[in-house]
Structure 1
Amino acid sequence: MRRSGPAVEQLIGALIPRPLPRPIPTPAPLPNLPPPRAPTGPNRIELDVARLVRAGRCSARTLLHQLDWRPEHRLVVDVADGTILIQRHPGGRVLTDPRGALTLPAAPRQLCGICGGDRIVLAADLTRDRMTVYPMTVVVRLLAEHHARLADGRRGR
């Protein structure tokens, strides 16, 4: 006696072969990577990114602390190749802020094309006791040149 209703399809075993037994592959060994090196040596540089407020201030507390630039230290500000160079000097006109802020004078900001609200990269050279302020336009240009060199080097292989 047959049931009435939709017919149930059954697969034919001869048309669908059974999977072959295969051994489970062993994973490839991971390479031994060298441990990360701590930044030591003659050129120890620490980086930070900050946003400049309209008055020309940015937070630089961590880098000021690492440079051991205490509140009321006098700084000399100069411009070179589109960047702002800052060094501690007894005759400097700019003072470090007790709250950990760094004030960049208007003239160097204008020469480097930095406006209020812009992001900047701060690089503290701990061995030379100075800080360099990079506008994002300079950072982007340097990275573009670096990536172009990488791409050209890979084409030659």
Structure 2
Amino acid sequence: MPTPLPVAVPDPAPLPTLPTSAAPSGDGRLLFDVARPDAAGRVTARGLLRALGWTPGLTLHVDVVTGAILITPAAEGAHAVGTREELPLPAAARHLCGIAPGEPVLLAALPRQNRIVAHPSNTIAAVLADLHARILGEPS
């Protein structure tokens, strides 16, 4: 039996670079992440917090505006960024927006305004249903 010829081992293909969870919209005006509130209403948002420079202990003002939760730094804020880089979504705000524990929320950071807006999934579903109806030429 003949001796097999040596075969060159090919170089491994490079792995693709995955986007970060808080990828900029392209112009730096908006960053997104998706999170699920735990039973206490906290959401982990490390990428967004780091992009804004918000560190654990930063006091925050949390308010409900037009069915979304608006979070802004405030010296006299009643809430704070958690030690594990999580944002508080208070029970009253979650209730007003219809956010249940474990239900996904879309977090949108606005670096120029130094704010985060938490959108409930029902709002995102309604906006996307409208958009898809227009794309498909269906009446709303």
TM-score range, shorter chain: 0.7 to 0.9
Distance in 1 between the 2:133 and 2:113 partners?
Answer: 30
Answer yes or no: is the 8 Å Cα contact 2:25–2:31 preserved in 1.
no
**Identity of aligned pairs, percent?**
41
Distance 1:125 1:57 in 2: 20
1:77 is the counterpart of 2:62: yes
Give the counterpart letter for 1:119 in structure 2.
P
1:120 matched to 2:105: yes
C-alpha displacement of 1:148 = 1.9
RMSD after superposition: 2.0
Letter in 2 for 1:120: V
Cα deviation 1:98-147 (Å, max 9, x = unaligned): 21111111100000011111111111011110000011100000111112
Tell me the secondary structure at the aligned position of residue 108 of structure 1.
helix
Residue in structure 2 matched with residue 147 of structure 1 by the alignment: 132
* Structure 1 residues not aligned, in runs of 5+: 1-36
Q: Which one-letter code corresponds to 1:94 in the other structure?
A: H
2:26 corresponding residue in structure 1 = 39
Task: Assess, with a 3 A threshold, how the Cα gap between structure 1 residues 83 and 38 changes in structure 2: closer, same or farther.
Answer: closer
C-alpha separation between the residues in 2 aligned to 1:38 and 1:51?
A: 22
CA-to-aligned-CA distance 1:4-60 (integer Å, 9 cap, x gap): xxxxxxxxxxxxxxxxxxxxxxxxxxxxxxxxx97126xx11100111111101111
Counterparts of 2:111 and 2:93 in 1: how far apart (Å)?
Answer: 22
Please report the TM-score for the alignment, with normalisation by the length of structure 1: 0.69
Q: Secondary structure at the match of 1:152?
A: coil
Aligned length: 116
TM-score, L = length of structure 2: 0.77
Larger Rg: 1
Moved over 4 A (4+): none
Write the mapping of 1:119-138 to structure 2, written as runs, cut at 5 A: 119-138=104-123
In 2, Cα distance between equivalents of 1:106 and 1:70: 22
